[in-house]
Chain A
Amino acid sequence: MNADLTPLWVYLGRDPLAWLLLTLGAFVLSRWLYERAGQSALLNPMALTVCQLVLLLSITGVSYDAYFTGAQFIHVLLGPAVVCLALPIWQNRRSIRRSLPALIPALLAGSLVSVLSAVGLAWALGLDSTILLTLVPKSVTAPVAMGIAQDLGGIPELAAVLCAVTGIFGAIIGVPLMTRLGIRDARAQGLAMGVTSHGIGTAAAFQVSSVMGVYSSIGMALNALLTAILAGLALLFWL
């Protein structure tokens, strides 16, 4: 870094607002790139933002704790955002009620397969138990996933990253894959997107059709609830 700028940098680096601004700025820039690229799933705004900030912190040697003094003002809003998942469920309660005979088995199976296949594969590949526990909520929306990972004894920050990677994969391959399998019911595709790829998959689902987006929101919300309950029960009885 330029010698003349160093004092200014050190000064700004101590101000929490600087990190809040950088987080918002990186996100706005990432979203702009994403829009410019025709909403390409490969340029997922959240993933781009995280890459920029990780790179910045690595280069400048600023600690995560220092960064978090500013970023916490965004972080605290995660909880209220989870509460907000209730509204799309309520607004579509009639369609959901009608779909329950298909929705509930698909949710249970999708949720269990996601958790068990991830933990089983990771175990088979020789990953250690902290990683296995962190993988449990990888298909759950990140704010809830972090809580689950923490309760189970995994690593919350890693859980958030695994969720983001899963969501990005899902946003890229989900709809083309299911269409190739001959599934034309938007509710089925939407639910599968939400259950496996949470918020990032839901954003992709809304781009295809509003029905798909709504079912993806429901899948995301119910899977968050279900995985939290399953993890809680696992903690009570087995771990």
Chain B
Amino acid sequence: MLGALTLIIGLQVLGTVLAELLALPLPGPVLGMVLFLLVLAVIRRPWAELEQVNNFFLANLSLLFVPAAVGIVSHLELVSPILGRLFLVLLLSLLAGLIVSALIFARLARRFTPASDEELLP
């Protein structure tokens, strides 16, 4: 448990330090994710505890951004007059993004990398 947690937190700190030292335009945790991929490429198979801790984080991802989102209470005056427009922007932009990326993937996959049976929806 603690070894896995130490590795994960260590990679994030290392990512933050590297991003700062090299003046990279990346948030530290994102660089930490890239470093973790490199670690996995070296160790090949994550040990069971690392996998457990990792899954714990991912399974509870939505809890982790609650404190930040509650920060909206400090911005209620700013947001309430533009709420309708914000929601409209988010909805239309979401539709555009979904349609474009799914259609492009599906079209190209049909030609270059056909879906296996388990990759097809019923």
Please determine whether A191 and B8 come into contact, CB atoms closer than 8 angstroms.
Answer: no
CA gap between A55 and B89 in the complex, in Å: 25
> Which residues of chain A come closer than 8 Å to B29, judged between CB atoms?
78-80, 82-83, 143-144, 147
Question: What class of interface size applies to chain A in its complex with B?
Answer: 35 or more
Please determine whether B8 and A80 come into contact, CB atoms closer than 8 angstroms.
Answer: yes
Complex interface residues of chain A between 198 and 239 (CB less than 8 A to chain B): 199-200, 203, 208-209, 211-212, 217, 219, 221, 224-225, 228-229, 231-233, 235-236
User: Cβ of B115 < 8 Å from any Cβ of A?
Assistant: yes
User: Cβ of B2 < 8 Å from any Cβ of A?
Assistant: no
Instruction: Determine how close the nearest CB of chain A comes to the CB of B118; give it in whole angstroms.
Output: 6
> Which residues of chain B come closer than 8 Å to A118, judged between CB atoms?
89-90, 93
User: Cβ of B51 < 8 Å from any Cβ of A?
Assistant: yes
Q: A87-B36, A157-B72 are in contact. Are A121 and B8 (CB under 8 A)?
A: no
Please determine whether B93 and A138 come into contact, CB atoms closer than 8 angstroms.
Answer: yes
Please determine whether B88 and A125 come into contact, CB atoms closer than 8 angstroms.
Answer: yes
> Which residues of chain A come closer than 8 Å to B27, judged between CB atoms?
82, 144, 147-148, 151, 228
> Which residues of chain A come closer than 8 Å to B11, judged between CB atoms?
83
> Which residues of chain A come closer than 8 Å to B98, judged between CB atoms?
110, 170, 173-174, 177-178, 192-193, 196-197
Please determine whether A155 and B89 come into contact, CB atoms closer than 8 angstroms.
Answer: no
Please determine whether A114 and B93 come into contact, CB atoms closer than 8 angstroms.
Answer: yes
User: Cβ of B21 < 8 Å from any Cβ of A?
Assistant: no
Complex interface residues of chain B between 13 and 33 (CB less than 8 A to chain A): 15-16, 24-30, 32-33
**Minimum CB distance partner of B82 in chain A:** A127
CA gap between A181 and B98 in the complex, in Å: 11
> Which residues of chain A come closer than 8 Å to B90, judged between CB atoms?
118, 138, 162, 165-166, 169
Q: A46-B66, A77-B64, A84-B54 are in contact. Are A192 and B40 (CB under 8 A)?
A: no
List 15 other contacts, CB 8 Å, given A57-B70, A84-B57.
Answer: A67-B70, A71-B70, A75-B67, A75-B68, A90-B41, A101-B108, A118-B93, A131-B86, A155-B75, A157-B75, A158-B78, A162-B86, A162-B90, A164-B65, A189-B121
Q: Can you list 7 residue pairs at the A/B interface with Cβ under 8 Å?
A: A46-B63, A64-B70, A75-B67, A105-B108, A142-B65, A165-B87, A196-B94
A-B residue pairs, 5 tightest by C-beta: A232-B25, A110-B101, A157-B71, A71-B67, A147-B27
Interface residues of A (CB under 8 A from B): 23-24, 26-27, 44-46, 49-50, 53-54, 57-58, 64, 67-68, 71-72, 74-75, 77-90, 98-103, 105-107, 109-111, 113-114, 117-118, 121-122, 125-127, 131, 135, 138-139, 141-144, 146-148, 151, 155-158, 160-166, 169-170, 173-174, 177-179, 181, 183-189, 191-193, 195-197, 199-200, 203, 208-209, 211-212, 217, 219, 221, 224-225, 228-229, 231-233, 235-236
